[in-house]
Amino acid sequence: MKLYSNPDRSDWSEILKRPTQTVGDIEATVNEVFNAVAKNGDQAIADYTSKFDGVCLENPIVSAQEIEAAKTEVSESLKNAIALAKRNIEAFHSAQKTDKVTVDTMPGVTCWQEKRPIQKVGLYIPGGTAPLFSTVLMLAVPAQIARCKEIVLCSPPNKEGHIAPEILYAANLCGVTKIIKVGGIQAIAGLTFGTKSIPQVYKIFGPGNQFVTVAKQIATKYGVAIDMPAGPSELLVMADTTANVAFVASDLLSQAEHGSDSQVILVTTCQEFAKAVSEEVQEQLAVLPRKEMAEQAIANSKTIVVDANTTAIDLINAYGPEHFIVATADNDFFVNEISNAGSVFIGDYTPESAGDYASGTNHTLPTNGFSKAYSGVNLDSFQKSMTFQNISKEGIQNIGKTIELMAEAEGLQAHKNAVTLRLKELEK
């Protein structure tokens, strides 16, 4: 991890750059795949699955037999762990339900708001080096609570043409209605346009690599909504000399092992603490199974020493981390002052891993600084807020003149007439 000691504020933007390609670098590839899928449907999907995943599939749809087989391949201990995580995620997301809001804005004018589910949603679950069955829980559980009618899951197959049994088990447990063996850009394109095998959806959820992230952004050009621009994972830890060095190092490595394009940052007010963490990172790194991948991420990561907590919080808000761990003598200061973060983890015994798996909060979070404007996935992500209004005879008489005056001032005579005709009818 590269060390920066009290960098000038004018240099923060450069220091805090993410190790990601720009949209322009990969947009041409994404558009090529989208155009092919729009034109050739399942055939294009099959061609790209063969090209990118190295497998030819006769049928990309996961069968009931495959789901049943997956149940036998998942150990009872892992099934119990998944069940506990699911209960916590259900508890937290069910608590986010809101009642209908009804207001009489004036006599005879009743307005209300109700939540309605997004009927068709697509869930993208990364496979590859780490099949993220935990993401199935994070997306399918709130989709089920929201009562989405169709929940379509796409995940890339392995070289044998299979999806990890843990993913299939979790998907079946959480009410996914269709599972398809397709990943990458072609999966997002399939969910966007719809093919014979892949239903077209209204909104796409889920993390992925930079190509998937750009594909989701391109999908919005074709009228499909997305949860957020969620790319490579990132973590910022704010720690001082009261924190446990080993804990801090383990948290940094827990994100670094996600992928070579992940980024982790340590912010501290003590140079000696920074050095101790750096040494501990190397010690723990040496025995990790995913050492090579984590090493590449660590090479893209930074340690920043600042002079005070007030400077630190300014820097952290400027970065807008996906995950933010705070382990200091004054955690309350950082909790109260943080404005830009996807999810916050407080204290020595709250590892980011808890949010990734089982505490109940959602781990699908905004990256690349988008926490400045986006929320992480939550129950509302799978719902729409619809407004209703009911105006009585008394109500239109109370509000009618106001509407007429405003419509006339804007030069919209038909708008005015829609009210005038009603008022005249009531005068009879």
Active site residues: 322-323
Q: Which residues contact 13 (CB under 8 A, 6 or more apart)?
A: 318
Find out whether 186 is annotated in a ligand binding site.
yes
Amino acid sitting at position 246: A
Residue 182, Cβ density class (10 Å: 0-12 exposed, 13-18 middle, ≥19 buried): buried
The three-class DSSP label of residue 285 is helix
Best CA proximity match to 270, nearest among 345, 346, 328: 328
CA atoms within 13 A on the CB side of 18: 22
The three-class DSSP label of residue 417 is helix
Find out whether 390 is annotated in a ligand binding site.
no
Contacts 24+ apart (CB under 8 A), 2-8: 2/301, 2/302, 2/303, 3/274, 3/278, 3/302, 3/303, 3/304, 3/305, 4/302, 4/303, 4/304, 4/305, 5/271, 5/305, 6/305, 6/306, 6/307, 7/304
d(CA 124, CA 140): 11
d(CA 299, CA 313): 24
Find out whether 162 is annotated in a ligand binding site.
no
Find out whether 233 is annotated in a ligand binding site.
yes
Find out whether 255 is annotated in a ligand binding site.
yes
Best CA proximity match to 326, nearest among 246, 233, 273, 248: 248
Would you tell me how many other CB atoms lie within 10 Å of the CB of residue 418?
A: 14
Find out whether 380 is annotated in a ligand binding site.
no
Find out whether 356 is annotated in a ligand binding site.
yes
d(CA 127, CA 357): 16
Apex 34 CA angle, 30 and 37, nearest 5: 140
Q: Which residues contact 260 (CB under 8 A, 6 or more apart)?
A: 293, 296, 297, 300
Find out whether 93 is annotated in a ligand binding site.
no
Q: Six-digit token pair at 74?
A: 């998942």
**DSSP for residue 410:** T
DSSP per-residue letters across 233-269: -EEEEEE-TTS-HHHHHHHHHHHHTT-TT-EEEEEES
CA atoms within 13 A on the CB side of 82: 24
The three-class DSSP label of residue 325 is strand
Mark the binding-site residues for Zn(2+), compressed into ranges: 255, 258, 356, 415
Mark the binding-site residues, compressed into ranges: 124, 186, 209, 233, 255, 258, 323, 356, 410, 415
Mark the binding-site residues for NAD(+), compressed into ranges: 124, 186, 209
Mark the binding-site residues for substrate, compressed into ranges: 233, 255, 258, 323, 356, 410, 415
